[in-house]
Amino acid sequence: MFVIKDESVREQLSKDCTLVEAVRSLTIQMNENGSAAQFLLFHLTTESDTMVSFTPIL
């Protein structure tokens, strides 16, 4: 364990840690949203009986 005595170094380290936490949180959200989107797309494309057909009716 170490102690940072210089206030400017402590402030910069705090900002860096805050930025790292924000990026980590955003990454988690993106992964969750991506998984949900893949799940929805899979079910929309595999359940053909309930899907609306977008092909023109001839």
| pLDDT on residue 41 | 82
Q: Tell whether the model's pLDDT for residue 4 goes beyond 60.
A: yes
CA distances from 8 to 19, 22, 58 (A): 17, 21, 72
| pLDDT on residue 39 | 86
| pLDDT on residue 37 | 86
- Rounded distance, CA 37 to CA 32, Å? 9
| pLDDT on residue 18 | 92
- Rounded distance, CA 49 to CA 46, Å? 9
Q: Tell whether the model's pLDDT for residue 32 goes beyond 60.
A: yes
Please give the average per-residue pLDDT across 23-33, as a whole number: 90
Of the two residues 48 and 24, the one the predictor is more confident about is 24
